[in-house]
Structure 1
Amino acid sequence: MRMLIKRLVSTHNISFVRLSALRFSSSDAQKKPEEAAKGEDKPDDIKKNIVVEKYGGITTINIDRQKTRNSLDEDTLREMEVAIDAFDKDDEAKVLVFNGEGGSFCSGFDMDEMGTKGYNTLKDAARRLLRRPLCDKPTIAAVKGFAVAEGFELALACDLRVIEDTAVLGCSGRRFGVPSSLFGGRRLTSLIGLSQALDLLMTGRLISGVEANQKGLAAKVTATGTALGESIKLAKSLVKFPQSALMMDKLAAVNSQLNPNSDESMRDEAIMQSLLGTALEDIKEGVKKFQDGIGKHGKFYKLTEVPLQDWELENSVEETVVKLGDDEKAPDGKAPK
């Protein structure tokens, strides 16, 4: 799949940078006694459970624990926290895409490690995923295979979800008495309503990608094997917009559903105010573009000087054909002007 994305990206002139793709054996991850005493890690001593990649302004975090269907252990959760914080601080990074390597998105907390270290250890390691919204910048989940338990909640935490039709989603932790750990109940209810959310939360019933789309969870439902590619395509469509106004509107929407009258709501209001200065500059530039004829008549393509490819224009150009019945034609048999 990654090779296909590389071809897609190279075809459309997006720079590609791999940030972390090294794998280390568990024996290499052991600290030397003197290093452990100092509390310092060398890069080569850290076992990587995620792969971070960049495609221009798009960053992907790929969970790579395929033997356990990309379950989340303590190390993986802490690596994700570092990667998300780095994305937040990167001015060049605009959209974050979560993906699972192999055939699944994420199967939730690692149950074996939960048995060893306890639920609270994993919950504490996942504290960065509790933020609402997960990031101020746009986030997308490329959902395939299993997205269950906390993996389902991770997908719900993202702003948009591209879901394969054969994906399996749901609150599978119900079987083992594990509650929603990442505000899954609140997020699910805000997305699909109380009645449907209770059905999934209380029964633990698993649903397909098709049903998830019918319930309104998917920004797009797609064929098996295409979630990551479609997510990159969707992310690229977001990168082209001025980002300050986009983030302000996103935060306003999230506040209305997830953070009413809360400390996080106040934090987001402060962020929106800080974004307003940049948004005003974007507005000035937008007005000038409109006056020059860019973006008129509802066009969402050719908003920048960067030429778009045919595959981008496929979903951008829409034609409406109006057919008139015989009773709507003029007496001379011609359509009225």
Structure 2
Amino acid sequence: MSDEVIVENLGRVSVLTINRPAARNAVNAATARAIADAIDELDERDDLAVGVITGAGGNFCAGMDLRGFLKGERPSIEGRGFAGLVEAPPRKPLIAAVEGYALAGGCEIAIASDVVVAADTARFGLPEAKRGLVPTGGGALKLHRQLPYHIAMELLFSGDWLTADRAYRYGFVNKLVPEGNALEAAVKMAERFAANGPLALEAIKRIVRESADWSANEAIHKQREIADPVFRSEDAREGAKAFTEKRAPEWKHR
């Protein structure tokens, strides 16, 4: 694993820390590859159930590393997008733990996450229009689905910041915590998720994300295709057995 990203596995939770604090964790090509590798490890390991992504040194991510860009680097990976993540998030739940700035591509990492925990001093923003650019890492495509339409358009057109408390009021942020506590709170939330059936978590995420493209006629059928294998799994039987025996389940991811 590259020094650009630090991975720490805490039980069933994998914490991915973008480790470029001198650049406010701006993403270059090496960082994008390291994040993609960490996401692959999260998805491939049966002992890991939930991911948390954060940044070192008091900031989440300031987007693309412009110095790298001027050298001809692209902090994207084919088929996976910016930071090796925004177009192809993990199959498993991903929580963004945000301190400081989450700007441009950094904000799009938060948009691509399933849950956002933020310090009350955090700042989100898509300033691309100020630079004559377009937020193509999910900002223009998805922000209006995660915020009220008119608020999203204001932010996209102006490029201005969205404060953490305002983001929380609009439902973009799930949990607001004092500065310096975002990661701790995100890990606690991840541990709650990770206590549940891993196959169920993956199926729920897949249904939620894919169903936007389903017609009303095919939705029930496609949902059943994803959910039925979970109902037939060893984990489903273990969940029922653990409930009747009044104990914590021992998940096998099969």
Q: TM tier, shorter chain?
A: 0.7 to 0.9
2:14 corresponds in structure 1 to 59
State the match for 1:158 in structure 2: 113
Counterpart of 1:287 (choices 231, 240, 251) is 240
Residue in 1 aligned with 2:229?
277
Distance 1:167 1:130 in 2: 20
The alpha-carbon deviation at position 172 of structure 1 amounts to 1.9
TM-score using structure 2 length? 0.86
| Shift of residue 304, structure 1, vs aligned partner | 1.1
Aligned residues of 2:118 and 2:164 also touching (Cα < 8 A): yes
Alignment of 1:48-127 (within 5 A): 48-117=3-72, 121-124=74-77, 127=81
Contact 1:129/1:182, CA 8 A, preserved across alignment: no
Mapping for residues 1-337 of structure 1, pairs under 5 Å:
48-117=3-72, 121-124=74-77, 127=81, 128-132=84-88, 134-257=89-212, 260-261=213-214, 273=225, 276-280=228-232, 281-292=234-245, 294=246, 304=248
Aligned residues: 242
How far is the alpha carbon of 1:173 from its aligned partner? 2.3
Q: Partner letter of residue 56 of structure 2? A: E
Residue identity in the other structure for 2:87: R
Select the structure with the greater relative contact order (CA < 8 A; seq sep ≥ 6).
2
Q: Deviations over 1:264-312 (max 9, x none)?
A: xx9xx69x846643443433333334444x4xxxxxxxx6179xxxxxx
Give secondary structure in 1 for the equivalent of 2:51. strand
Q: TM-score, normalised by structure 1?
A: 0.66
Task: Give unpaired runs (5+ residues) of structure 1.
Answer: 1-19, 21-46, 295-302, 307-337
The C-alpha deviation readout for 1:119-153, integer Å capped at 9, x for no partner, is xx334466232435x11111000001000000000
Distance 1:230 1:124 in 2: 30
Say which SS state the counterpart of residue 9 (structure 2) adopts. Answer: strand
Are 1:166 and 1:224, in contact at CA under 8 Å, matched by a contact in 2? yes
Cα RMSD (Å): 2.5
Q: Shift of residue 222 of structure 1?
A: 0.8
8 Å contact 1:104–1:146 — kept in the other structure?
Answer: yes
- 1:91 partner SS: coil
The structure having more radius of gyration, on CA atoms, is 1
The 3-state SS of whatever aligns with 2:116 is strand
Amino acid at match of 1:253: V
**Equivalents in 1 of 2:75, 2:49: separation in Å?**
29
Change (3 A) 1:174 1:75: same
Assess if the C-alpha contact under 8 Å between 2:33 and 2:77 holds in 1: no
Matched residue of 1:117: which SS? coil
Amino acid at match of 1:157: A
1:62 CA displacement: 0.5
Distance 1:288 1:172, change over 3 A: same
Tell me by how many angstroms 1:110 deviates.
Answer: 0.6
Q: Greater share of strand residues, 1 or 2?
A: 2
CA contact under 8 A between 2:30 and 2:75: conserved in structure 1?
A: no
Deviation at 1:261, TM superposition (A): 4.8
CA distance in 1, matches of 2:136, 2:192: 32
Contact 1:188 1:197 (C-alpha < 8 Å) held by counterparts = yes
Q: Distance in 1 between matches of 2:45 and 2:227?
A: 16
**C-alpha contact 2:52 2:186 (8 A) present in aligned 1:** yes
CA contact (8 A) 2:96 2:115 kept: yes
Find the aligned partners of 2:47 and 2:239 in 1 and give their Cα distance: 21
1:13-65: per-residue Cα shift (whole Å, max 9, x none)?
Answer: xxxxxxx5xxxxxxxxxxxxxxxxxxxxxxxxxx5211111001110110111
